[in-house]
Structure 1
Amino acid sequence: MSLSGKVAIVTGSGRGLGLAYARELARQGAAVVVNDVDAEVAAEAVRIIGADGGRAVAVVAPVGGTEAAQQLVQKAVEAFGRLDILVTNAGILRDKSLLKMTDEDFDLVINVHLKGTFTCAREAFAYFKDQGIAGRIITIGSPTGQRGNFGQSNYAAAKAGIVGMVRTWALEMKKAGVTANAVIPVAATAMTKTVPYFTKAIEADERGEAMPDFFRKDLGFGTADDVAGLVAFLASDAAAGVTGQAIGAGGDRLQLWTHPEAAATEYREGGWGYADLVENFGKLFGDKLQSVGEELLPLPADLAPEAAEAR
């Protein structure tokens, strides 16, 4: 097994994507610390991993603050003797457009996604460095953090921030041999179940059938298990040279996202004043402005009669 002898923490792994990541890490030989805020859900996740032939224990705690991060690392060491892998998957949604989003909506999402990733990574890295372990930190981003999405100011900020931290950590952790990467999943979740566009894909998955090729191939949308293999790979020794990257996975598609680069560059001696920009900006950059949001392909007619009616 590629991860035999390794120990992993997966936050937010009681169900959904997080559980898929935890199960795959266990299949590859890692012992896993499962995390959820619901004790029954966490216990069921441990049972499922055990039924698969894996080893797992649970920590019931809300990710965000330092205390939970410390508890997770301590549990890994107490239960399995070490820690090698951290996957920061825990997250919540509080979707609202800007004028309807409250301070609490914003703070809750930032605390779990962004601060939770920060505190857990800090705790894990401190352990790796102290023990001389070339550990793996795998964070979970989102296409929303890369491109934006209506009604998700809080979520977009958190997910973009996670990728920014990963790029910074890749520099700071290089000397210790620790890698840090972000996975950008495109998969069926509780959220996508509410979107008519994905109805046919979700229905097929729930029947235990393969999703239509349009979703898996053209759109790069699939199941949680389609993403789990990438998480396990990044946790392995085979990925020792991969760090500071944002890597997308969904359906049959794998993507390496670029780091932000200038789309166009112009120079003017003496700099760019207001009048110069009024006169020249449109001519220089008007046809090079970047798109925002995800641009979904039109659904084939046979996949969207209900979706068309819903819209």
Structure 2
Amino acid sequence: MDLTGKVAVVTGSGRGLGLAYARSLAAAGAAVVVNDVDAEAAEAAVKEITGAGGRAVAEVVPVGSAEAAEALVARAVDSFGRIDTMVTNAGVLRDRVLWKMTDDDFDTVVQVHLRGTFTCVRAAVERMRAQGDGGRIVVAGSPAGQRGNFGQTNYAAAKAGIAAMVRTWAMELGRAGITANAVIPVAATAMTKTVPVFAPHIEALEQDGTPFPDSLRKGEGFGTAEDVAGLVAFLASDASAGVTGQCIGIGGDKLALWSHPQEIAVAYADGGWSADAIAAAWPVSVGRAPETYGIPAPVL
């Protein structure tokens, strides 16, 4: 995969998945703007990338506001002359069950994930359209946004909104040659390390490099951050010019395409539906096989 001459911004790339994305893009030849709220982590990432022969600069700013988004794009243009790819990876968690979730818990997560994705993509698209030669939008979704997850009202809502934005942007940006896709990663991160079934495997990997077993890599589609990075590099490349509006899952040895919401059962009644008619029809027509919800529990 050759990204020589391309310029990418990766939000939240001081560590974890974002750092893996920045490394992968740089290794393929792209110049990268590393973003993080932790200045030391951002500078360490830049040092690592440049030490390996890549090109990178840091922009330390919390994503969410229009001003932060514009600063990221300006950093790319000032340092490397243009922007070709915006990867929105930055995120925070404030997990609580619904009745314990505060307004601040909700607003903080939505501000960073949903609004941060919107503002960063808007700023990038404005520049890409002015450049006139297309571009790539790669945003971070989540299984929680696709299926819901206990204790993550805020996070699941933001990620579901991001998936909906991708489908909208694919329509709006196609004429400009700009693609928009969501990556749905499943990987060893600080968040997944809190899941009891994953924790011992992640700890073993960190301590002595013990690889994940096939029951994780294939059965659960669960791997390392580096396992996800190849998809981001592909979506940033010319090879993905025909891929847009998609939610693409990746983790371990598994690559998957997520479905879009669609009607799966339909019934009709002359003159419309009363509440009593719905109650009578539900169990024998559209409600006969209701949809499942929630992320399935790992089976190892």
**TM class, shorter-chain normalised?**
over 0.9
**What are the ranges of 5 or more consecutive residues in structure 2 without an aligned counterpart?**
none
Equivalent position amino acid for 1:295 in 2 = P
Q: Partners of 2:91 and 2:282 in 1: how far apart?
A: 40
**1:2–1:29: 8 Å Cα contact kept in structure 2?**
yes
| Partner-residue secondary structure (3-state), 1:45 | helix
Q: Is the CA contact (8 Å cut-off) linking 1:148 and 1:293 kept in structure 2?
A: yes
Distance 2:124 2:183 in 1: 18
Query: What is the aligned partner in structure 2 of residue 242 from structure 1?
Result: 243
2:63 alignment partner AA: V
Residues 4-30 of structure 1 show CA distances to partners (whole Å, capped at 9, x for unaligned) of 010000000000000000000000000
2-structure distance, mates of 1:87, 1:193: 24
Instruction: Supply the distance in 2 between the matched residues of 1:52 and 1:231 (Cα, whole angstroms).
Output: 19
CA distance in 1, matches of 2:77, 2:299: 49
1:150 equivalent to 2:153? Answer no
Deviation string, structure 1 residues 269-299 (Cα, Å, up to 9, x no partner): 1111111011111121343101110112422
Kept in 1: contact 2:267–2:286 (CA 8 A): no
What is the match of residue 290 of structure 2?
Answer: 289
TM-score normalised to structure 1 length: 0.94
Matched, 1:251 2:252: yes
The answer to whether the aligner puts 1:81 opposite 2:81 as a matched pair is: yes
Say yes or no: does 1:169 pair with 2:169.
yes
> Residues 184-223 of structure 1 correspond to what in structure 2 (within 5 A)?
184-206=184-206, 207-223=208-224
Deviation at 1:264, TM superposition (A): 1.1
Task: Please name the residue that 1:305 is paired with.
Answer: none
**TM-score with structure 2 length normalisation?**
0.98
1:33-91 deviation line (CA, Å, top 9, x unaligned): 00000111111111111122211000000000000000000000111111101000000
2:199 and 2:104 mapped to 1: Cα distance? 31
Q: Deviations over 1:94-132 (max 9, x none)?
A: 000001100000000000000000000000000010110
1:210 CA displacement: 1.6
| % same residue | 64
Q: Quote the Cα distance in structure 2 between the aligned partners of 1:147 and 1:69.
A: 29
Q: Which residue of 2 aligns with 1:181?
A: 181
5+ residue gaps, structure 1: 300-311
Q: For residue 22 of structure 1, what is the aligned residue in structure 2? A: 22
Question: 1:208 Cα shift?
Answer: 1.6
Give, in whole Å, the separation in 2 of the partners of 1:140 and 1:297: 22
Check the 8 A contact 1:219/1:296 in 2, yes or no: no
In 2, Cα distance between equivalents of 1:199 and 1:62: 29
Match runs of 1:4-43 below 5 Å? 4-43=4-43
Q: 1:201·1:215 contact (CA, 8 Å) conserved in 2?
A: no
Aligned to 1:308: none
> Partners of 1:56 and 1:224 in 2: how far apart?
20
Are 1:69 and 2:69 an aligned pair? yes
3-state DSSP class of the match of 2:104? helix
SS at 1:218 equivalent: coil
RMSD over equivalenced CA pairs, Å: 1.0
Alpha-carbon contact 1:248-1:255 (below 8 Å) kept? yes
Counterpart residue type for residue 287 of structure 1 = R
Q: Does 1:233 align with 2:234?
A: yes
Aligned mates of 2:229, 2:219 — CA distance in 1: 20
